[in-house]
A and B are shown apart, each in its own frame.
Chain A
């Protein structure tokens, strides 16, 4: 099967092995060294990755916002492409999302904002 990086990988919805949302493939990382053929290694998720994809004037603002807003700074989170177990409209990755760093912001919002409102 032939995979087109932008059409089939970039920006696709990523889900964990239970089918729960992890986020979208904000970036795709390829490794290259002199002695091995280039290989697609990771999906990258996070505000910094998203900021880098915008025209320059917006990059600074977004990186700053991401840095201020995201609980773990703005360092991107990586998911190994080798753990893909299903590739289609959504991409299923063989990890347990409940403890994954991909959901850190979701957990932070739950614990610090939504979870504190009665009836949540």
Chain B
């Protein structure tokens, strides 16, 4: 009974924490520009994420080491510096896009101008990290995050053609605008396979003192939680396809996404969208700021935990504070939030091998995971999808930059 509750809670946590500005913006863009055709990118990204999340939980449960610590341990300091720098900078960039999403949500609700919300939102996130504990942040963010289920409700109300949607789950060549098609596909995969989630998840497993008995539960919660989470992204895509395509709306600015629920749910749809966007982004900000702090602190062997007073984990607290400030500066400077979201998601795809290849080597090293090593299925699936995302990213990012 207790196990069942644990599994349910784990799944609910993953669903509530899944959607953030990256998946939301990329799925909405895909739906608006290509109908159901890009659902396959969400499917591939989600499958890869299931394997990776399961792996990072298993690593922490078996080796009692979080991912970042194990990476320095196994590969040594000089090599570790590469993922450390790449993933920290990427973290700041992704945090900026989440903060952009939160600011937009606040602007939608209040009608007050955009740049003011960024420092305020960053400060609120910082305050919660400063005062809160790991379980408050993890459970709180994901329970409130369940509001994102509104997209599933909306998708069902539109009575989509499920056979056509299912056809979109199989990869196909673009019928028009090939450059844009591949760039959005890459952004979707980058948004689904978020490396910061792995650092967060494995550190959380260590904070919660997992051991080998947690391996089966971890497998179930990762599989179902991430699958349902992926279904949320598909719902956003379906809603965007059915609402925006007939009206001929192409998403060029962030606030155009804001109206996708209004035709279905009226004025309350508008506010539900703003609430879902704001909460999802706020939760992701907390997770990203913590992930960067975990990555740096574990890598350098500093004391790290979200459950101590900030003065007792001074450098750890300094890192999440600096990450939030860095993200806020990018938004305040006034970079276009939609552009930064799409670009940071595509960039994530391009940088994936740096984070994932060493991770895979770790998961095949009996020195770390003993008999709980990866099987050939997980190795093959992760390699194939990460490889595909990387190749598509390397080809499509320069084209997108030249085009715009």
A89 lies within 8 A of chain B by Cβ: yes
Cβ contact within 8 Å between A14 and B64: no
A34 lies within 8 A of chain B by Cβ: no
Q: Which residue of A lies closest to B317 (CB)?
A: A114
Cβ contact within 8 Å between B77 and A50: yes
A10 lies within 8 A of chain B by Cβ: yes
B97 lies within 8 A of chain A by Cβ: no
Residues 47-82 of chain B, each 1 if its beta carbon lies under 8 Å from chain A, else 0:
000000000000000011100010011001110110
Cβ contact within 8 Å between B301 and A21: yes
Main secondary structure of the interface of B (DSSP, over half): helix
Distance A37 CA – B64 CA, assembled complex (angstroms): 36
Q: Which B residues are in CB contact (< 8 Å) with A12?
A: 73
With A89-B63, A119-B131: A106-B314 Cβ-Cβ less than 8 Å: yes
Distance A109 CA – B318 CA, assembled complex (angstroms): 8
Q: Which A residues are in CB contact (< 8 Å) with B76?
A: 6, 10-11, 53
8 A Cβ contacts from A6-39 to B: 6-7, 10-14, 20-24, 26
With A114-B311, A120-B310: A23-B78 Cβ-Cβ less than 8 Å: no
A60 lies within 8 A of chain B by Cβ: no
Distance A10 CA – B77 CA, assembled complex (angstroms): 9
B156 lies within 8 A of chain A by Cβ: no
Q: Which B residues are in CB contact (< 8 Å) with A113?
A: 314, 318
Taking each of A7, A23, A24, A50, which has the highest tally of chain B beta carbons within 10 Å of its own beta carbon? Answer: A24
User: Which residue of A7, A53, A106 is within 8 Å of B77 (Cβ)?
Assistant: A53
8 A Cβ contacts from A31-56 to B: 50, 53-55
Q: Which A residues are in CB contact (< 8 Å) with B72?
A: 11, 24
Instruction: Please tell me the size bucket of the interface on B.
Output: 20 to 34
Main secondary structure of the interface of A (DSSP, over half): mixed
Cβ contact within 8 Å between B314 and A110: yes
Residues 300-321 of chain B, each 1 if its beta carbon lies under 8 Å from chain A, else 0:
1111100001111011011000
Q: Which A residues are in CB contact (< 8 Å) with B309?
A: 120
Q: Which A residues are in CB contact (< 8 Å) with B304?
A: 21
Cβ contact within 8 Å between B301 and A105: no
User: Which residue of A22, A105, A115, A117 is within 8 Å of B315 (Cβ)?
Assistant: A105
8 A Cβ contacts from B243-260 to A: none
B270 lies within 8 A of chain A by Cβ: no
With A6-B76, A11-B72, A53-B77: A89-B301 Cβ-Cβ less than 8 Å: no
Min CB gap A20→B, angstroms: 6
B181 lies within 8 A of chain A by Cβ: no
Min CB gap B372→A, angstroms: 15
Cβ contact within 8 Å between B315 and A106: yes
Cβ contact within 8 Å between A11 and B311: no
Distance A89 CA – B370 CA, assembled complex (angstroms): 13
Cβ contact within 8 Å between A106 and B303: yes
Q: Which A residues are in CB contact (< 8 Å) with B130?
A: 117, 119-120
With A6-B76, A10-B76, A120-B309: A23-B301 Cβ-Cβ less than 8 Å: yes
With A11-B76, A50-B77: A24-B315 Cβ-Cβ less than 8 Å: no
Distance A20 CA – B305 CA, assembled complex (angstroms): 12
Cβ contact within 8 Å between B78 and A24: no
Min CB gap A93→B, angstroms: 12
8 A Cβ contacts from B237-296 to A: none
Q: List 21 A-B contacts (CB under 8 A).
A: A7-B367, A13-B73, A13-B301, A20-B303, A21-B303, A22-B301, A23-B302, A24-B72, A24-B300, A24-B301, A54-B81, A106-B302, A106-B314, A109-B315, A114-B314, A114-B318, A115-B311, A119-B130, A119-B310, A120-B310, A120-B317
List 19 additional A-B contacts (Cβ < 8 Å) besides A11-B77, A114-B311.
A10-B76, A13-B73, A13-B301, A21-B304, A24-B77, A24-B300, A24-B301, A26-B77, A50-B77, A53-B77, A89-B64, A89-B73, A106-B303, A114-B310, A114-B318, A119-B131, A119-B310, A120-B310, A120-B317
Chain A contact residues, CB within 8 Å of chain B: 6-7, 10-14, 20-24, 26, 50, 53-55, 89, 105-107, 109-110, 113-115, 117, 119-120
Q: What are the 5 tightest A-B residue pairs by CB atom distance, in nearest-first order?
A: A24-B301, A110-B314, A109-B314, A21-B303, A120-B311
